[in-house]
Chain A
Amino acid sequence: MAEHGRKSVWGYVGIWGVLVVLTVATWLLGTRGHLGSWSLPVAMGIAVGKTALVAMFFMHLVEQPGARRVVFPVSALFLALLLGVSLVEAMTRVRMARPDGPKALEPARPASTRTAPPGSPTRWMGH
């Protein structure tokens, strides 16, 4: 470690190497991962890890005293709160009845043939 708690050049190169490995991992996940619906959460998790590494080492948060170091995770927490709670709310909404009557009794159609009428509140969710 260099003075003032900073990492040496090789320390930064090592972190850069980890970032490259994580980037390649994301690429492999997209091309050969076959994780299905888990692909996006895993890719987002890797992205969050990379962001944390950049913030901690290249933005020197890790060298800061406690109060200043808390700023980043607190900001991330509030963003996660906004996105997480909004998504949970959207996913637990009661689906609106279609204007031409309830569709629940009909046999399910393939997703590609299902379209919501313009103006349907659930259209943005892809139903």
Chain B
Amino acid sequence: MNPSMAGSLAEPDYLNHETTVRSWLLTRDHKRIGVMFLVLVIFALLLGGTFAMLLRIELLTPGPTIMGPMTYNRVFTLHGVTMVWLFMIPAIPSAFGNFVLPLMLGAKEVAFPRLNLASVYIYAAGAALTLFGMVWSGADTGWTFYTPYSTTSPTAVTPILLGVFIIGFSTIITGLNFITTTHTLRAPGMHWSRIPLFVWAIYGTSVIQVVATPVLAMVLVLVALERVAGVGIFDPTRGGDPVLFQHMFWFYSHPAVYIMVLPAMGVISEVVCAFSRKNIFGYRMIAASTFGIAFVGFFSWGHHMFVSGQSTFGSGIFGVLSMLVAIFTAIKIFNWVATMYGGAIDLKVPLLYVLGFIFLLTFGGMTGVAVATTSLDVHWHDTYFIVAHFHYIMVGSVLMAFLAALHYWWPKMFGRLFPERWAFVAACTIIFGFIVTFLPQFLLGNMGMPRRYYQYPSEMQWLNVLSTAGASLLAFGFGLIGIYLLWSLRYGKVSPASPWGSRGYEWFSASPPGPHNFREPPRFEREVHDYTVSEAPHVY
């Protein structure tokens, strides 16, 4: 079938074959569940972004600007909790993974559709409890809940801990679902060596989610127990060890960085192929490096603890192991660049975000190698240098990949095209705004400005003003995206089946796909992203 005709067929798709509220609330369709997750995580992004803007406005002047110190402590906690637990961890796997992974595998559904629906409600319940705790009396511990402060803080730490604990179940269920789906529901012709790199990334992420999330759940419950029942686990006055909390917390939370970044890398691998019109350079090495990152990521949690009182021996080992992550990341970056080299580059908006991703990941990664060096980390620890580093590596890469995925798969999800000119303006604004926001923070940190302080010496003001100006550009860019995407849902041009000319397996279905994904059982005869043949992919 000619893909340009597929979009015009009047067959019902997953959006309009049933339109009642009940059909959405009780759906077992992975695509609808992906859309529900997308709405929820965008709401979380909006909330977290609003808190970020409040922080940046407060830091416009060296003294108090719009809030007092206690409010500031609560707002940075709200920002961190919302962005990390409610947005960045579920954003790509739960929203785009749910929508795209079965399509890429040629499956009708995920392995456990009911559990998949449950994961949405568990996430929503956990998020609601977390937000309730925030509204009730906030929390001022930061998103890391470090003991002994988190066990003694009078703010509403316990409901927020329980909320994050509940969200963890959603993460585990989603991970189990993706692992099982990848093993059992692949279409004929889908050998392990043909699995799209986005699926490999989600698979690697799922392994981390299943293995590491229970440790986070355990440590959060222990903190809650210490708060509620006075059990001495982390409080040294009761025989506990506060450093033990950091071990358990970072055993999950460092790999959690890869829960955020690996799916982002999977998105990049797909988009870079589609807009370079080339199959990926070094498929096996990229897939292997995904697992290399996932594996080494479990051995490097102690680099968050160089000034915690951790042993020098431990710090040295963790420092060296942390640097290994850079090797696997570099493999990916070299392969993406090599994929683009000599390709027929089509600089559409998703590829623009890919370029932003590669720049931010490289810059953030190199500063990561620097802070993995213990002597340097002692100088930079808990300064804005660290804030800038993790925003580049974690937030920047996740946001760029999230926006690349959103634009790349928007026609697939909703069957509409967005106005490319506006999207181009928004992408440039966001990439430039991000750099302007966080680059000055490297300098501020190197000058000694500590994180989580709401006052600073006046000679640091110009850099803080620059950072706030960048944040305003970011807010403008996101606002623009929200406007044109919502506009396109109603007024955008109807998309053909494969508007980008991509040969990714997910484009072998209609856009938007039917309720059962494919009209006939698919069979994948060619390599994914095979651009060596001239004809368009068969739409099943």
Contact = CB atoms under 8 A, between A and B. Distances in A.
B247 A124 contact: no
Given A67-B183, A82-B248, A89 B302 contact: yes
A5 B538 CA distance: 43
B391 to A, nearest CB: 28
Interface in B243-266: 243-244, 247-248, 251
Interface string A59-103: 000000001000000110010011001101111111000000000
B460 to A, nearest CB: 34
Contacts of B313: 88-89, 92
Contacts of B239: 123-124
Given A86-B244, A93-B309, A123 B314 contact: no
A96 to B, nearest CB: 8
A120 B247 contact: no
A81 B299 contact: yes
Interface string B299-343: 100100000011111100000000000000000000000000000
A87 to B, nearest CB: 10
A120 B236 contact: yes
A18 B241 CA distance: 39
Interface residues of B, number: 24
A126 to B, nearest CB: 10
| Main DSSP-derived SS at the A contact region | helix
Given A74-B211, A82-B215, A123-B236, A89 B314 contact: yes
A78 B247 contact: no
A94 B310 CA distance: 9
Contact of B237 (A88, A92, A93, A118): A118
B298 interface: yes
Give chain B's interface secondary structure class: helix
Contacts of A120: 236
B236 A93 contact: no
Contacts of A81: 298-299
A74 B212 CA distance: 12
User: Which of A74, A90, A94, A120 has the most B CB atoms < 10 Å from its CB?
Assistant: A90
Chain A interface size band reads: 20 to 34
Interface in B85-124: none
A94 B308 CA distance: 12
A78 B243 contact: no
Contact of B243 (A75, A85, A121): A121
Nearest to A71: B210
B366 to A, nearest CB: 26
A75 B309 CA distance: 29
B188 interface: no
A89 B236 contact: no
Nearest to B247: A86
Contacts of B242: 121
Interface in A20-45: none
B69 interface: no
B482 interface: no
A121 B309 contact: yes
A70 to B, nearest CB: 11
Contacts of A118: 236-237
Contact of A121 (B183, B212, B236, B312): B236
Interface in B179-236: 183, 211-212, 215, 236
B479 interface: no
Contacts of B154: none
Contacts of B183: 67
Contacts of B212: 78
A119 B211 contact: no
B240 interface: yes
B265 to A, nearest CB: 22
A82 B249 CA distance: 11
A91 B236 CA distance: 17
A13 B247 CA distance: 42
A89 B302 CA distance: 9
Given A78-B211, A86-B244, A89-B247, A94 B237 contact: no
A90 B237 contact: no
A63 B443 CA distance: 58
B211 A82 contact: no
Contacts of B236: 118-121, 123-124
Contact of A82 (B241, B243, B251, B311): B251
A4 B218 CA distance: 37
Contacts of B302: 85, 89
A86 B212 CA distance: 15
Nearest to A91: B311
Nearest to B251: A82
Contacts of B311: 89-94
A121 B314 contact: no
B314 A92 contact: yes
Given A78-B211, A82-B247, A82-B248, A93 B310 contact: yes
Nearest to B314: A89
A121 B241 contact: yes
Interface centre among A85, A92, A119 (most CB of B within 10 A): A85
Contacts of B299: 81, 85
Shortest beta-carbon contacts, A-B, top 8: A89-B314, A92-B311, A92-B313, A93-B311, A86-B247, A124-B241, A82-B251, A89-B311
Interface of B: 183, 211-212, 215, 236-237, 239-244, 247-248, 251, 298-299, 302, 309-314
29 contacts: A74-B211, A78-B212, A78-B298, A81-B298, A81-B299, A82-B247, A82-B248, A82-B251, A85-B247, A85-B299, A85-B302, A86-B247, A89-B302, A90-B241, A90-B243, A90-B244, A90-B311, A92-B314, A93-B310, A93-B314, A94-B312, A119-B236, A121-B236, A121-B241, A121-B309, A123-B239, A124-B236, A124-B240, A124-B241
Given A81-B298, A118-B236, A119-B237, 17 more contacts: A67-B183, A74-B211, A75-B211, A82-B215, A82-B247, A85-B247, A85-B314, A90-B244, A91-B311, A92-B312, A92-B313, A93-B310, A119-B236, A121-B241, A121-B243, A121-B309, A124-B241
